[in-house]
Structure 1
């Protein structure tokens, strides 16, 4: 069993991310899907970037760090589009 964190795209936490998490859980993994926005997902990339700008890059990363805090160091970080950027930024901060 692997711990996995899936970070959503700029659109927000959409059903596709949750469905992928369910597939990974069915395979025996422990999966976390943090909502980095705390707001409903958007329908357009423009609205997604507006929401991202409203929340702010630093706050998105803070929320990502908070989601990782209780998880073991070997947790896999993954994401879609913007979420891959969040995963990369947070991965660089992890000691292992």
Structure 2
């Protein structure tokens, strides 16, 4: 089974994030979901961002990296919003990554590395009209990341039947909420949260079966 490291969003290690991690555990995967907020949780993006700003985004990202360094290298990194920062950095720069899932945020190519590592499957999930994702440049960053990878062996924009045919996917859902996958958030959308979880579990099954991207 896959080893998975999940980083929480600006809201902190919410019950919704823990529920997502438990779903992956129930499927047999080993999941680590660290608390970067030292027990703090928030109900809004604004409140969470204020706290993250006080602690320092670079400090939180570095903490995520230090936590990963205590774990095996063969990790699948999953980041929700703020958690994308350490997840994407580790997937692009730490050897041994088996895959990555970026949810509601994407960092432009070049921030950590100019290319996505060959053979590492990637899913980017967001709502198509989420103003945070669209207006703050994350959608453009996601498209640029996918396009920069599509020319690599195994890369494909539209996906395929196997991980080898679809190493990178940008998946946009109808809607405009940011925390649609967190059941403890007012943003939660049951249908698309289930779709995201199913997609992640399919990815993990493929990795577990030894399919390479």
Q: With the length of structure 2 as denominator, give the TM-score of the two structures.
A: 0.43
Specify the alignment match of 2:58 in structure 1: 58
- Pick 1 or 2: higher relative contact order, CA cutoff 8 A, min separation 6: 1
Q: CA deviation at 1:63?
A: 1.4
Contact 1:12 1:42 in 2 (8 A): yes
Structure index of larger Rg: 2
Aligned Cα RMSD in Å? 1.3
Task: Specify the SS of the correspondent of 1:24.
Answer: helix
2:65–2:86 Cα contact (<8 Å) kept: no
In the other structure, the counterpart of 1:90 is: 90
Secondary structure of 1:78's aligned partner? strand
What's the CA shift for 1:91? 1.9
Note the C-alpha offset of 1:85.
2.8
State which drifts further: 63-72 or 1-10: 63-72
How far has the Cα of 1:83 moved from its partner?
Answer: 1.2
Q: Is the 8 A contact 1:10 1:52 kept in 2?
A: yes
Q: How does 1:61-76 map to 2 (within 5 A)?
A: 61-76=61-76
2:54 and 2:20 map into 1 onto residues whose CA distance is: 27
- Aligned residues, how many? 96
The residue matched to 1:21 in structure 2 has which SS?
A: helix
Partner of 1:28: 28
Structure 1 residue runs of 4+, over 4 Å off?
none
**For residue 15 of structure 2, what is the aligned residue in structure 1?**
15
Q: Whose helix proportion is higher, 1 or 2?
A: 1
| SS at structure 2 position matched to 1:92 | helix
Deviation at 1:5, TM superposition (A): 0.6
| Mapped contact 2:5–2:32 kept (Cα < 8 A) | yes
Residue number in structure 2 paired with 1:78: 78
CA distance in 2: counterparts of 1:58 and 1:80, whole angstroms: 16
Deviation at 1:39, TM superposition (A): 3.3
Deviation at 1:37, TM superposition (A): 1.5
Tell whether the 8 Å contact from 1:3 to 1:71 is kept in structure 2 after alignment: no
